[in-house]
Amino acid sequence: MSYNKEEVKELLDIEDIYTLLEYYNAEPQIYYNHIEALTICHDGDSHKLYYYENTKLFKCYTGSCGSFDVFELIQKQEHLDDLNAAVYFVVQFFNLEGRIDQVDVSSGEDWKIFERYKKIAGIHTTINDKLILPEKNKAILKYYPQPLIKNWQKEGIEKEVCDLMNIRYDAINGGILIPHTDEDSRLVGIRIRTLVKEFENDGKYRPWKNGKELFNHPLGFNLYGLDKAKENIKRQKVAIIVESEKSVLQFISYLGLSNDICVAVCGSSLSKYQFQLLYNLGINELIIGFDKDFQEKGSNEYYQVQDKWEKIYRKYGNLVNMSFLWDKDNLLGYKSSPLDHGKDIFMHLFRNRVYLN
């Protein structure tokens, strides 16, 4: 059994590639028509690995990697000699089995390869194709304190909410520990938000490492805060998605857990799987509350943000009503989330959200 490589590649859009790069902790940033990420192709530490949407190719601007496609990247990351195994990896990773034809049935060896990569890094599926992420040992968190985080308190986040979400502090690494649970409240990862300026060059948020154990997880296959919000989302049939965990904590602090319909994608892109998690809860409206990634109206950044939102709308707007928290009145700072400037400004943006049609 095998799949047509080009057909599989054509099914992947730029958000899928973003999700895959997050899975490999490549710290991707998505732009108008390309992605910039760490040079994981040769274990580099610079953001010089580019992915171009028009060619569906990566290009490494350091080292000697040159240009390559998604399957070659996976072969490097998973140490695979067989191209078919990398194609199987993609098909399984993005649940493409039902969307693509098997082009031939060959030797039993192919089936062995398929079965080997059917469970990727401990991820497996249930009968309903729900991805089950590996569960982490939550007992480790009890050794870390839950102090008042003054910086977060100034930004509207209440300590009671931090305690509710099991936020901890790692004094040795100088960072806030943010446990990530799935919709069934199983611990699937822990991220650390560094408070040390010189560490921010490696990213303000990154997977937490304790000894030799890395508490990472594929961010594109989970939604932060969904276990707390899902019953309200089911009842109200509305969900708000934001970029960061901190925005979820602010939302609960402003409006209370009984009104919580807010989840974080932990990035600047909404994956197909994340949308499906919300769609399965019966939503009829999805509100996009991403950060303000432009400084001036009419700038290149402004139109890039518009284009990104329009892409999200084209993908999902025929399934749910879609609205956006758009800062028409210039109330937010550059790179601010809709919740960073207090409850009143957030509620203004919420009541005046923009619908696309």
- DSSP collapsed to 3 states, 225-236: CHHHHHHHHHHH
Q: What is the pLDDT of residue 168?
A: 97
Is residue 140 scored above 60 in pLDDT? Answer: yes
The answer to whether the CB of 35 falls within 8 A of the CB of 47 is no
pLDDT band, residue 99 (cuts 50/70/90) = low
Higher-confidence position of 3 and 294: 294
Higher-confidence position of 3 and 176: 176
Q: What is the pLDDT of residue 188?
A: 95
Is residue 119 scored above 80 in pLDDT? Answer: no
Question: Which whole number is the average pLDDT over 277-285?
Answer: 96
Q: What is the pLDDT of residue 123?
A: 60
Tokens of 196: 């040390």
Q: What is the pLDDT of residue 251?
A: 98
Higher-confidence position of 122 and 170: 170
Percent over 90 (pLDDT), the chain: 55
- CATH superfamily, domain 2-120, is Zinc finger, CHC2-typedomain (3.90.580.10)
Is residue 78 scored above 70 in pLDDT? Answer: yes
Question: Which whole number is the average pLDDT over 60-82?
Answer: 90
Question: Which whole number is the average pLDDT over 211-237?
Answer: 93
Is residue 260 scored above 90 in pLDDT? Answer: yes
Least confident of 22-26, 118-122, 309-313, 350-354: 118-122
pLDDT by residue (tens digit) across 3-16? Answer: 888 889 988 888 88
Gap between the Cα atoms of 68 and 112, Å rounded? 26
Higher-confidence position of 169 and 128: 169
Least confident of 43-47, 176-180, 232-236: 43-47
Kindly give, in sequence order, each residue whose CB lies less than 8 Å from that of residue 239, ignoring residues fewer than 6 positions away.
229, 233, 261, 262, 263, 278, 281, 283, 285, 286, 287
pLDDT by residue (tens digit) across 102-116? Answer: 544 344 444 444 444
pLDDT band, residue 345 (cuts 50/70/90) = very high
Higher-confidence position of 105 and 25: 25
Question: Which whole number is the average pLDDT over 49-57?
Answer: 94
Q: What is the pLDDT of residue 89?
A: 85
Which sequence spans correspond to the domains of the chain? 2-120, 138-219, 226-355
Gap between the Cα atoms of 167 and 103, Å rounded? 49
As a whole number of Å, the CA-based R_g of the chain is 21
The answer to whether the CB of 327 falls within 8 A of the CB of 292 is yes
Is residue 120 scored above 70 in pLDDT? Answer: no
Residue by residue, what is the 3-state secondary structure of the chain?
CEECHHHHHHCCCHHHHHHHHHHCCCCCEECCCEEEECCHHHCCCCCCEEEECCCCEEEECCCCCCEECHHHHHHHHHCCCCHHHHHHHHHHHCCCHHHCCEEECCCHHHHHHHHHCCCECCEEECCCCCEECCCCCHHHHHHCCCCCCHHHHHCCCCHHHHHHCCCEEECCCCEEEEEEECCCCCEEEEEEEECCHHHHHHCCEEECEECCEECCCCHHHCCECHHHHHHHHHHHCEEEEECCHHHHHHHHHHHCHHHCCEEECCCCCCCHHHHHHHHCCCCCEEEEECCCCCCCCCCHHHHHHHHHHHHHHHHHCCCCEEEECCCCCCCCCCCCCCCCCCHHHHHHHHHCCEECC
- Could you say which architecture CATH assigns to the domain 226-355? 3-Layer(aba) Sandwich (3.40)
Query: φ, ψ for residue 341 (rounded to 5)?
Result: -115, 30
Q: Which residues are bridge partners to 123 per DSSP?
A: 120
> For the domain bounded by 138-219, which CATH number is listed?
3.90.980.10
Q: What is the pLDDT of residue 15?
A: 85
Phi-psi region of 58 (alpha: psi -120 to 50; beta: other; left: phi over 0): beta
Higher-confidence position of 236 and 2: 236
Tokens of 185: 């409240």
pLDDT by residue (tens digit) across 177-186? Answer: 999 999 999 9
Query: Mean pLDDT score of the chain, rounded to an integer?
Result: 87
pLDDT band, residue 84 (cuts 50/70/90) = confident
Q: Are strands 285-289 and 321-324 parallel, antiparallel or unpaired?
A: parallel
Higher-confidence position of 125 and 238: 238
Give me the amino acid identity at 158. E
Gap between the Cα atoms of 295 and 300, Å rounded? 10
Gap between the Cα atoms of 267 and 147, Å rounded? 26
Kindly give, in sequence order, each residue whose CB lies less than 8 Å from that of residue 138, ignoring residues fewer than 6 positions away.
179, 187
